[in-house]
Structure 1
Amino acid sequence: MIILIFFLAHWFLSLFFQTFFLHRYASHKMFSTHKINERIFHLMTFVCQGSSYLNPRAYAIMHREHHAYSDTEKDPHSPYFFTDVFQMMWRTAQSYKLYEKRLKEPDTQFAGYFPEWRLLDYWGSTYASRILFGLGYVAFYIAFATHWWMFLLLPVHFLMGPIHGAIVNWCGHKYGYSNFDNGDKSKNTFFIDLLMLGELFQNNHHKRPNSSNFAARWFEFDPVYPVMRVMHWVRIIKLRKVVA
């Protein structure tokens, strides 16, 4: 039971900060916040993503490219140009590394306005950091695992961030229904979206990329949006007003 609680906690905390900080803040600036709060969110993203920490600058650049070139040959991770999800993940990782290591500069339209913490971003992307987190996960499993099959969950811990991204980018553009004609193949994968905290309402999001609520119809629910509303009410963040 302890292992399953740990796994679910890691899954949802990592995913929350990926959608809240990397996606909705770093990529789209759906809200503003004090610099101290930004640093706290940045640090929590590092802690919760752990061995699979994603650099906010690199993430934001690639995501902005994805919106601009959705499901075209310039899209950094459209599933329609790969035979399987593993090929897509590999190509995405290669593109990500170029921006993470600053070996490639983005086009002007995709640059700027993303959170940067040079020391943390550098350390979080080192092999040493990733290995230390990985050893921590292994030690926790050795201490608390009660069955051998539980150790099969460890690879998911090691690659949590990329796995979340692969699910969203693959499923969110291949399976489900569309509320809007966005000129791409984005879909809403409703039945598994609660496991992805709103990220699989891709069709809605591509229609309204700056809206902090990814749900659009009465039966759709984005679980991160109410959290953001509460944070807005208590003045931790200030949600951006979006013209419909």
Structure 2
Amino acid sequence: MNIENLDNILKDEPRYRLKQVKEAVFRDLIDDWFQASNLPLALREKLNEECPLGIKGKISKSDDKKTVKTLIELDDGLKIESVLMRHGEGEEKRNTVCVSSQAGCPMACKFCATGEMGFKRNLTASEIIEQVLFFARTGNKISNIVFMGMGEPFLNYENVMAAVRVLNDEDGLNIGARKISISTCGVIEGIEKLADEKIQLNLAISLHAPDGALRSELMPVNKKYPLEKVLDAVDDYIKKTS
């Protein structure tokens, strides 16, 4: 899927066409453009050719079925993991998707299996959105999103934020900003950028140690971004966004 290409494909179409397309993808959750019967046949054919909606995912479930993991194969053959986590019942029920932002990860945290893979590449905004759509298409109403999967989100800042804007858009999946969380291992520039965004998301910090010495041993990133400076950046973030 290549959501980024939609504007180019629809450039000669009436202005209302983009809204129709978004409704088909994010509300009707189609997986083939021919299912979008409100679009002209020629446009559906073009969209299927230039922006196919198929997502290759293999599912595995926990014994209690509250956690569902999928391994998604990207167009270039790389594979990423996403997880659906079900919490609560009734009005308290939440379906949270944990998404990846990179294929592999360059941070090399000692406790993380993804870090052992090394870094392959950043995911596009579409590849991030696909992970949420995959679970939405299986009949799960997605209520929350957490960027806590493979990769460091702030090292792919522009694509992560582009995906967030689509997921938050009322013509997209319409997920509230306060129900979207970005977790970082402490990339200070990313924390500072997020503080200046007009959209107020939740920020989570991956600490994994009570002091700088142990954190440096477990997380090499602490040598570039020491814990005390990360916490200072968090204080500034809170002041700007509270």
Indicate whether the TM-score tops 0.5.
Answer: no
TM-score by length of 1: 0.25
The answer to which structure has the higher strand fraction is: 2
Q: Which has the higher helix share?
A: 1
Q: Which of 1 and 2 has higher RCO (CA within 8 Å, sep 6+)?
A: 1
Please tell me whether Structure 1 or Structure 2 has the larger radius of gyration of its CA atoms: 2
